[in-house]
Amino acid sequence: MREAFEANFERGEELGARFSLVHGGETLVDLWAGFADRQRTKPFDDKTLTTIFSSTKAIAALLIARLVDAGKLDYGQTVASVWPEFAANGKAAITVEQAMSHQAGLCGFPDPMEPSLWFDWDAICAKLAAMAPLWPPGTASGYHPVTFGYIAGEIFRRVDGRTMGAALRQDLAVPFELDLWIGLPDSEHDRAADMQRPNGPAKFGVINEATRAAFLTPWSSAGGRGQAEWRRTEIPSANGHATALALARLFGALANDGWLDGEVILSPSLIAEASRERIHGPDLVLPFEMSWGAGFMRNSAVKVWGQGEQTFGHSGWGGSCIFADPQTGLAGAYVMNRQSTDLLGDHRPKALIEAAYGSL
C-alpha cells in the first residue's frame, strides 16, 4: 500500500494526500505526504484538514440512521410528516428513504438564482419545499450533489432540533476524538488544505435537464461569499472537513457491528437497514448505473471499493472517498487536495484499496 501511495506522487498526480485503513478498531495503515498549500511550502501532515466534498454525504447518512436507530424517525415515513411545507407541488408522498436515495427529483434548481443564496439555509429549504420535482419521485435516482445536504439536514433539524454540524461535533466528533466538521469554525481554518482544482471538466455524458440543474448552471453551487464563509457554513452534502483517519475510524464502526472505542454508535440491524439497496439502475444525473442505500453509495453497481457486494460509503468531487466493508471488517478513507476530473472511482484511491485487499 505504501508503494501504491508513493506511486501516485511519483506520477505527479498528488499535491497532498492521506490514506487510512482500520479493522476492528485498530489502525492498520495511516499514510500522508505532500503539501497542504499550492505554493508547496506547508507540509501536509497528520493535523491537516481537507474538504471532502460529497463524501460528507456519508456522514449525513449516518446521522439520519442514528435518528432511525433511536426510534425518532422511520425511513418509510414521508418527509412531509416532519417537514409539512415539503408536501407542496406533488411531493406529499416522498418518503425519507426516497429522499435519501436521490429519488425525490430535486437535484438542483433549474431557474436562475444568486449563487450566494446557498449560504441562507432557510431560503434554500423554502425553495426545495416549494419546488416541483424534475421527474416523478420514486421512478429513478438522479444524484443531488448539493440539495441532498439541505434535504437531509432539514429532516434532521426538524426531528432532532440541532443542525447536523452541531450533532456531529457533540455526539461523535468530540466524544470519540474524531477530527470531523460540517461547518468549520474560523479557529480551524489554518489547518485546512488549499484545494487545487482539476485541469479540465468532468465527463457527464449526455446532458439532460437534471444534469444541468445539478451541476452545470452558474448557480448550481455556493458562490459569491469567499472561501472563509464557505468553510464555516454548514452544507452537509458538500463541505465537510476531516482527516482520513477520523473518517476511517468512524466508518470502521460501521464495518464492525457499530463498535467504536467500546461503544455502539449504530446497531448492527440499522447498519444493514441503512446500507440496503433502495434503487438500482441508470442514474439521471451521473453517467453511471448506481445502487443507492439510504444516503450511501453501494459497491454492488460500480466496484469502487474492492469487490465486496456489501461495501458501502461515498465518494467526493475530486477523489476523496470513505467506505465500510462489513464482510471483511475493513474500512478506509482517502483525502487529497489535488482534484481529478473523475466523477466516481478515482484511480488514486482505487489503487490503494486494491493494494489493501491484495495484502489480506
Which run of H or E residues covers position 260? Answer: strand 259-260
Which run of H or E residues covers position 50? Answer: strand 50-51
What is the pairing mode between strands 279-282 and 259-260?
unpaired
Rg (CA), the chain: 19
Has 291 been annotated as catalytic? no
Q: Which of 313, 159, 315, 187 is nearest to 250 (CA)?
A: 313
Q: Which of 66, 143, 134 is nearest to 100 (CA)?
A: 143
Q: Sign of the C-alpha dihedral, residues 103, 120, 168, 344?
A: positive
Residue 324 to residue 105: CA distance in whole angstroms:
28
Residue 5 to residue 291: CA distance in whole angstroms:
28
Torsion over CA of 76, 81, 86 and 91, rounded to 10 degrees?
50
Catalytic choice (54, 101, 220, 275):
54
Distance from the first to the final alpha carbon of the chain: 11
What is the pairing mode between strands 50-51 and 180-182?
unpaired
With beta carbons less than 8 A apart as the criterion, state whether 243 and 48 touch. yes
Residue 210 to residue 215: CA distance in whole angstroms:
9
Residue type (1 letter), 276: R
Whose grid coordinates read 449526455? 206
Which run of H or E residues covers position 180? Answer: strand 180-182
With beta carbons less than 8 A apart as the criterion, state whether 196 and 17 touch. no
Please, how many CA atoms are within 13 Å of residue 290, restricted to the half-sphere of its CB?
Answer: 28
Active site residues: 54
